Amino acid sequence: MATHEGGCQCGRVRFTVEVGLDDLISCNCSRCGKLGAVMAFAGADDFELRSGEDALTEYQFNTHKITHLFCETCGIQSFGRGTAPNGQQMVAINVRALDDVDVFALKPQQVDGKSF
């Protein structure tokens, strides 16, 4: 686990998160596949939204288990909120939105979300 800072392209949405980058997924569902998102998951207590709550717009689809949040100004989805399978509140972090991470050096697990 390490502490990372991240946010959207225009800078309105900024956050700090403590998250590991060893257990990542790259999903091909209708949303993630088009976003090119690489996702890491953190407990809600390990995430702090530092700015931009008022700039977030939400989108839900399919089972509505994750609230996908994106900046109303630049459109970047840097994170989403949801409930983990164990019932714990979690935050799905788009690793591409972290400031200090080389996403091309990572090895996410490929998930066939199209089949769900």
Tokens 């690793």, located at residue: 95
What's the rounded mean pLDDT across residues 3-9?
Answer: 97
The DSSP line for 41-78 is EEEGGGEEEEE-GGGEEEE--TT--EEEEEETTT----
Please write the tens of the pLDDT for every residue from 27-57.
877 787 788 889 999 999 999 999 999 999 9
Digit-coded pLDDT (tens) for 82-91: 998 899 999 9
pTM to 2 decimals? 0.88
pLDDT at 2: 94
Q: Which domains does the chain have, with CATH numbers?
A: 2-110 (2.170.150.70)
Q: Do strands 66-71 and 79-83 pair parallel, antiparallel, or not at all (unpaired)?
A: antiparallel
* Mean of pLDDT values over 90-96: 95
pLDDT above 80: residue 116:
no
By the 8 A CB rule, do 25 and 109 touch?
yes
Q: What is the DSSP letter of 45?
A: G
**Does residue 5 surpass a pLDDT of 70?**
yes
